[in-house]
Structure 1
């Protein structure tokens, strides 16, 4: 069965984004069934011989890679299908600024532009273009898809939070009341920093009347913005970039306190607790799930990279059911123990003392701050015969609730 599935999956992935989504999803589900069958063989061989069969392991890894590639292809197809057209070759009433911006991008005409100036670093893109950039970012950025997002007009966003509330309790009608403690407040600060991309085009391309310049700029910069943003939201040190949640100090969950993230150890350096029995290996994931408070857990999401997800796919529960399950529809998300799983390549790999798996309510736990406005500066001189477009936006980010995100650490303690 594998020989018939693998070429079809490879051909489908190569044909994207033009492939039929329904057919591709059916192929993906067939591959997952083959993956489960092969992994069952691997487990049976381990139990009988005490060692893995090299051929089965190789087959399993190839199926794992095919599943990853096919899911990524399905995601791209879904984005393409949902993409609207901005200008669509027509002029609408009240679009004078957008028309002037289009003239600036195509021919460098500035006379009708009144918002911003080239001395200030370019002209503000029309609201439709900014909206499309943000929409595309949300569609392809794993962190934007699950985190809280706040739009601001200033360079920094500050938010007070309650670290601990006032002392409360039940008392009788005539019982003396002890003085209550005041609540403890903390102020979280989210400065925005500049993120840029510099797409290039020929003048012949820009002279084409059918070119929707707003759509073109949005498509050109969104992949670059998403890649840089995601890395910063996960690993950023806060220096000229957002502060990533993995930059926070981490402590065992039993020692958790505000300004730190709690973690659960696997019990083994660089590995799960069970080396042969996948049921033993899955126990630590259950521990991590129930480390999160119920109020956060109902909206929780797993976050890991594709290599870690490949290892997770092999795990079963005590009843022999796979913990990882594919999405129920083509544009859906895979689940792990019933919670949605989001893939982010900037999450670390499984290694000694690494924290490659995060679980939490990221909507409450991590805040992304977008400063209003996207600037575009046209540069026809630096890379002739190409015209460069220095496109900038200001973005910030940081942990908003230290109790909403938990980590799995691959260590003894």
Structure 2
């Protein structure tokens, strides 16, 4: 049997609706091939025969489905980011400040119009349209930004208040006295942003070249580093000069007692490297009904590849691919977000989470990206020390549940 040719998907980039339609068409073809090949493997198992060619084909198609779905998710994120920005990518909100920033960026000039962007902590704030460029790219790359809530602040920290209730009440007759009842109590949690930075450099000759789009260049330089560091911190950060990751709020984890409302609930899996439909259903039904409208599954690519092979008692796939633009893949009728920084399935890890992350996790952005132009430290290069303050914490642990693999003991 000649092995099927794998489709090259990794380099796909969807920029227009027609491209998304083409990706969806390819995804549906590969998904049907996936199901057909899985049925072929089932027949081999029943016949007590394992064809390595079929196994290799099955794994290859599974990877292709993953790549196609990831490309569609990226396209969906771009569409959402453009919708949130409310303006086209070339819109300039403050032409005078942008021109002054460009002159400072390339020549080190400090013009009067640049003063309104001076930051008391040092450096100049990037123009609004340049700042938006970075934020949009983070929505594309850092999955938590596309599903969590984001709060912009202008101070050093953010305090979240919690109503712990406790108001007393009782039944009385029409003419009976109404004594004072107990009053509610409040809890609080402080979210302190950490500083994320990048320090790219360029030669003065490059900066003098008018053909170079300097703002886009710097945005492209820093977005990868920012997205990488943010994505890891939002999932597993320890809170030391960075956000607290949501996994750290699980029962038994480092921040289990940090939120006044308690810890994130944890459901156990029976195995170390595999899950069942019932265990996934436990995550769903262990989440209060008021949170499930807007809830989703979160896992990494490796875990998703295993989940895709699961079927119910009637032989139907639990996972379903996107069928229209703007729609993510689904697992048991809930959206799935691929998050690279989630752990793999292994003994005692927490590879799958379910819940309403918009209500459960809050990202705190201190307004503005700051840029310090440094022509001295690395001559002949000019360095651009670019920083942003970002924090994150679980604000409602009841909104999220986590699956923990067996410890293997």
Q: TM-score, normalised by structure 1?
A: 0.85
Q: Distance in 2 between matches of 1:183 and 1:137?
A: 40
- 1:276-328 alpha-carbon deviations (Å, 9 max, x no partner): xxxxx211111110000010011101110000000100111223221111112
Q: Which residue of the partner structure matches residue 107 of structure 2?
A: 107
- Give the Å deviation of 1:379: 2.3
Q: Which residue of the partner structure matches residue 306 of structure 1?
A: 301
Specify the SS of the correspondent of 1:290. Answer: helix
- Give the Å deviation of 1:133: 1.6
Q: Which residue of the partner structure matches residue 286 of structure 1?
A: 281
The 8 Å contact of residues 270 and 354 in structure 1, kept in 2 or not, is answered as no
> Which one is further off, 167-176 or 308-317?
167-176
Picking from 56, 59, 62, the partner of 1:64 is 62
TM-align CA RMSD: 3.2
Q: Distance in 2 between matches of 1:365 and 1:184?
A: 21
Q: Which residue of the partner structure matches residue 227 of structure 1?
A: 228
Q: Distance in 2 between matches of 1:408 and 1:222?
A: 31
1:5–1:16: structure 2 CA closer, same or farther, 3 Å change rule?
Answer: farther
The 8 Å contact of residues 150 and 367 in structure 1, kept in 2 or not, is answered as yes
Q: Which residue of the partner structure matches residue 276 of structure 1?
A: none
> Which one is further off, 197-206 or 329-338?
197-206
Q: Distance in 2 between matches of 1:312 and 1:174?
A: 63
- 1:108-151 alpha-carbon deviations (Å, 9 max, x no partner): 11233214669944211112211222222123210000001100
Taking the TM superposition and a 5 Å limit, the aligned residue runs for 1:25-104 are 25-47=24-46, 49=48, 53-76=51-74, 84-86=88-90, 95-104=95-104
Picking from 241, 258, 263, the partner of 2:261 is 258
Picking from 355, 361, 371, the partner of 2:356 is 361
Q: Distance in 2 between matches of 1:195 and 1:42?
A: 48
- Give the Å deviation of 1:170: 6.0
Q: Gaps (5+ residues) in structure 2?
A: 83-87, 254-258
- Give the Å deviation of 1:22: 2.7
Q: Distance in 1 between matches of 2:407 and 2:93?
A: 66
The 8 Å contact of residues 289 and 359 in structure 1, kept in 2 or not, is answered as yes
- Give the Å deviation of 1:173: 4.7
Specify the SS of the correspondent of 2:187. Answer: strand
Q: Distance in 1 between matches of 2:138 and 2:168?
A: 43
Q: Distance in 1 between matches of 2:147 and 2:59?
A: 28
- 1:24-60 alpha-carbon deviations (Å, 9 max, x no partner): 33112211111112222334444553x8654433322
1:127–1:14: structure 2 CA closer, same or farther, 3 Å change rule?
Answer: closer
The 8 Å contact of residues 5 and 30 in structure 1, kept in 2 or not, is answered as no
Q: Which residue of the partner structure matches residue 11 of structure 2?
A: 14
The 8 Å contact of residues 147 and 358 in structure 2, kept in 1 or not, is answered as yes
Q: Distance in 2 between matches of 1:357 and 1:175?
A: 55
> Which one is further off, 321-330 or 141-150?
321-330
- Give the Å deviation of 1:68: 2.1
Q: Which residue of the partner structure matches residue 278 of structure 1?
A: none
Q: Distance in 2 between matches of 1:38 and 1:95?
A: 57
The 8 Å contact of residues 268 and 411 in structure 1, kept in 2 or not, is answered as yes
More strand by share: 1
1:377–1:352: structure 2 CA closer, same or farther, 3 Å change rule?
Answer: same
Q: Distance in 2 between matches of 1:246 and 1:173?
A: 51
- Give the Å deviation of 1:269: 3.6
Q: Distance in 1 between matches of 2:334 and 2:177?
A: 47
Specify the SS of the correspondent of 1:389. Answer: strand
Aligned residues: 394
